[in-house]
Amino acid sequence: MGYTYSYLNAEMPDKDEVTRKTPNDATKQLIKKISQDGNETYLDRFAAQQPQCAFGLKGTCCRMCQWGPCRITEKSPRGICGRSQDEIVISNIIRSLISGLAAHARHAHEIIYTIKGIAAGKLNLKLKGEKRVYELAEKLGLNTGDKGLEELADNIADILVEDLNRMNADNMTLLEAYAPEERKRTWKELGILPRSASYEIMEALHMTTLGSCTDWKAIASQEKRSALAYCYSTLFGSSFASEILFGIPEPNETIVNYGVLKEDHVNILVHGHSPVMIEKVLEKINLPEIQDLAKEYGAKGIVVGGLCCTGAELLARYGIPSVTNILGQEFVIGTGAVDCVVVDMQCVIPGMKILADCYGTQIITTCNSNRIPGAVHLPFDPEKPETLDADAYIIAKTAVEAYKNRDRSKISIPDITTKAVSGWSYESITQTLGGTDNILKLLESGRIKGIATVVGCNTPKAVYEYNHVTIVKKLLEADILVTTTGCCSHALLNAGLCNKEASELCGEGLKSVAEEYGIPPVLAVGGCVDNTRSLRLFITLANEAGKAIKDMPFMFVGPEPGNEKTVGQGLSFLMHGVSNLVGFPAPIPVPIPKPKEGAVDGEMDRGSNNIADYFGGNGALEELGAKIYTEPYPEAAAQIIKMHIKRKRNGLGW
Ligand code: MSK
């Protein structure tokens, strides 16, 4: 029996329901095994947290000063300072958004300063993304002259840093270079053009602290400004910088899922978001002496597997098998076969270390922002990179040495692997499908009805991976092409939906396209910052059609929202006119219909509140041409997406 929250119009699953309905059999096996081993996971802690705080779930708790906390009820409609529900709810949302913005900015900072370190000759790494460097140089109007690759990359890095840090009112350079003209006009009219990540974080915190802004609409405008800073400084910034550093990925075939781990091999997992240190560690793992060391300890070899977005990036670039996502990180430790997890930044949950201690797994942290007590810590700092090579060597050696400490009585690896094609970039999608003009023809003819980017985290509030997989299967049946990133991509990869044979699950139109062009119907485009690749595709296709994006049959879908970073992901697309479908109510009171006063026939009044009406009603629609739909039940969610795409096609006369 799950947990019912009537004031959210939603139910949440308990452990039994997750075990029954989660789509990956490997997960089912591991949930049972970990329980039998007497250990707990997030599922047990989620149960212990029930019932969850109604004020927190609705966003009506204010902790932005030390007078409170204040909670909004019918009896107390204002906080002690006089703040209303609207001001509190929108302030909570913007604070989530800028936390996500700060996380992606930190990611961008590490990658961009790595480029600068290479250009300065301080880092023993090579730039692999020559193509992206020259494209960006041209797009940003740089004088290439007789500059070498490193110098040009350094010039670009300076521009990316400026977009992170600008304090004056100049426009953001990447936004100017990549945003559609129609949108730039819209944002200018709305007065929401951002300065930089740092400035908008500062302003958002300033506006929402005690005694600052009490106009919820002004805070909503700052929300939109911050979302644009998020999109163009930290998503585009991180994604482009990674491509400069590691190259633009190419599609590759590989094997994924828990069964890639091998009992008689050293199993090393890599986890997080910023794979600079890992790049070096991989180099060291391949050294003959490290391979020999593994054999000395009795292992037949070394397996490297990926978790979360570092996993998604390595899968995209090198075909390194990915295993699972944020909520699978405890399950994979429960195999008892993981010798070491090397983590960099973000989405590394404390529960993983607790479980690692139960199964004798070594954790190594490589980012000063992500320290974990009891873990070996060897941080990478692009501004002090002198020890990078030596540290990477120690990490590779420590990981291999952990094999000899493994408790062999607790090993059980689900024998489940899945074939997948990954590594789709903006370039490879457009080239493989015959160019943007041809993709447009496929859309117009209806062989592809629309494109949905289905992305994001997992949440304990939904059956693990069930929403991701159920929604996408329904979209494929309806001839809707899917792009995916991040934790959602792991669910879809493991479910076999990123495999060419998944064309069998598609409607006739999409099936024929997948077979003709040799693509899977779900294109895994990388880690969460690589949502830019789908956004660029939407921008170019709309441009090719001579339409605004808001008129095109596209949608952003976040079926299992979890991290604070997801707020900005959805809003980035919303700002461009792409409507969102979110799989669980955001911390905004849900407008629940109420019996009409004096009505005798059960007639209801539509429920309403300003913030829900803005994002899910006419407010955002009138300003941006897009809105946010919320639907926790995946079958109903798929129906909403199909209807949305159909409406857009009707509008275009397609
Ligand atoms: S790892 S941000 S849980 S997608 Fe990027 Fe997954 Fe969300 Fe972290």
Query: Which CATH number do you get for residue 505?
Result: 3.40.50.2030
Per-residue model confidence as pLDDT tens digits over 223-278: 999 999 999 999 999 999 999 999 999 999 999 999 999 999 999 999 999 999 99
Verify that 401 and 469 share a domain, yes or no: no
Name the pLDDT band for 431 (thresholds 50, 70, 90).
very high
Q: pLDDT digits over 83-133, tens only?
A: 999 999 999 999 999 999 999 999 999 999 999 999 999 998 999 999 999
Q: How far is the CA of 631 from the centre of ligand 1 (A)?
A: 20
Assess whether 104 and 67 both reside in one domain: no
Measured from the Cβ of residue 38, the count of other Cβ atoms closer than 10 Å reads: 7
Instruction: Round to whole Å and give the CA distance between 170 and 179.
Output: 16
Is the distance from the beta carbon of residue 587 to the nearest atom of ligand 1 less than 6 Å? no
124 with 219, same domain: the answer is: yes
| Residues composing the chain | 654
Take atom 1 of ligand 1 and give the residue whose Cα is closest: 308
Contacts of 164 (CB under 8 A, 6+ apart): 105, 108, 109, 112, 196, 197, 198, 233, 234, 237
pLDDT at 602 over 90: no
Q: How far is CA 623 from CA 192, 298, 628, in A?
A: 11, 64, 13
Q: How confident is the model at residue 39 (pLDDT cuts 50, 70, 90)?
A: very high
Nearest atom (ligand 1) to Cα of 528: 5
Q: Alpha-carbon distance 499 to 318, whole Å? A: 17
Q: Which atom of ligand 1 is nearest to the CA of 326?
A: 3
CA-proximal residue: ligand 1, atom 3 (nearest)? 457
In a domain, 416, yes or no: no
Q: By percentage, how much of the chain surpasses pLDDT 70?
A: 100
337 with 400, same domain? yes
Q: Please say if the pLDDT value at position 436 is more than 80.
A: yes
Where does a domain end: 246, 269, 288? 246
The answer to whether 649 and 449 have CB atoms below 8 angstroms apart is: yes
pLDDT at 592 > cutoff 80: no
CB of residue 454 inside a 6 A radius of ligand 1:
no
Tell me the backbone φ, ψ of residue 405, rounded to 5 degrees.
Answer: -95, 0
Per residue in 208-236, pLDDT (tens digit) is 999 999 999 999 999 999 999 999 999 99
pLDDT at 368: 95
Are 398 and 522 in the same domain?
A: no
pLDDT at 597: 81
415 in a domain, yes or no? Answer: no
- Is the pLDDT at 507 greater than 80? The verdict is yes
Give the model confidence (pLDDT) of 534-565 as tens digits: 999 999 999 999 999 999 999 999 999 999 99
State the pTM of this model: 0.97
Looking at the structure, tell me whether residues 537 and 575 fall in a common domain.
Answer: yes
147 lies in a domain? yes
d(CA 39, CA 48): 14
**Which of 71, 96, 113 is where one domain is finished?**
71
Regarding the beta carbon of 228 and ligand 1, being less than 6 Å apart is answered no
- 189, 112: one domain: yes
* pLDDT tens-digit map of 157-201: 999 999 999 999 999 999 999 999 999 999 999 999 999 999 999
Residues 503 and 638 in one domain: yes
331-377: per-residue pLDDT in tens? Answer: 999 999 999 999 999 999 999 999 999 999 999 999 999 999 999 99
23 in ligand 1 pocket by Cβ < 6 Å?
A: no
The answer to whether 453 and 347 have CB atoms below 8 angstroms apart is no
**Same domain (yes/no): 461, 528:** yes
**78: part of which helix (H) or strand (E)?**
none
Question: What angle (nearest 5°) sits at the alpha carbon of residue 465, between those of residues 489 and 478?
Answer: 70
Asked if pLDDT for residue 58 goes beyond 80, the answer is: yes
| Residue 70 or 124, more confident | 70
Residue 486 near ligand 1, beta carbon < 6 Å: yes
Residue that finishes a domain, picked among 42, 71, 100:
71
Q: Which of 57, 102, 32, 25 is nearest to 460 (CA)?
A: 57
Same domain, 233 and 265: no
Instruction: Return the percentage of the chain with pLDDT > 90, whole number.
Output: 93
Boundaries of domain holding 48: 3-71
**For residue 597, is it within any domain?**
no
What local confidence, expressed as pLDDT, does residue 604 receive? 81
Tokens found for residue 256: 């994924």
- If one counts the domains in the chain, the total is 4
501 domain residue, yes or no: yes
| SS3 at position 340 | strand
Closest ligand 1 atom to 346 CA:
8
The pLDDT assigned to 603 comes to 84
Which of 97, 326, 370, 453 has most ligand 1 atoms within 8 Å of CB, for mutation?
A: 326
Measured in Å, residue 380 CA sits from the centre of ligand 1 at 21
Tell me the average pLDDT of the chain.
96
CATH number of the CATH domain containing 120: 1.20.1270.30
Tokens of 427: 């370039």
Q: Both 242 and 258 in a single domain?
A: no
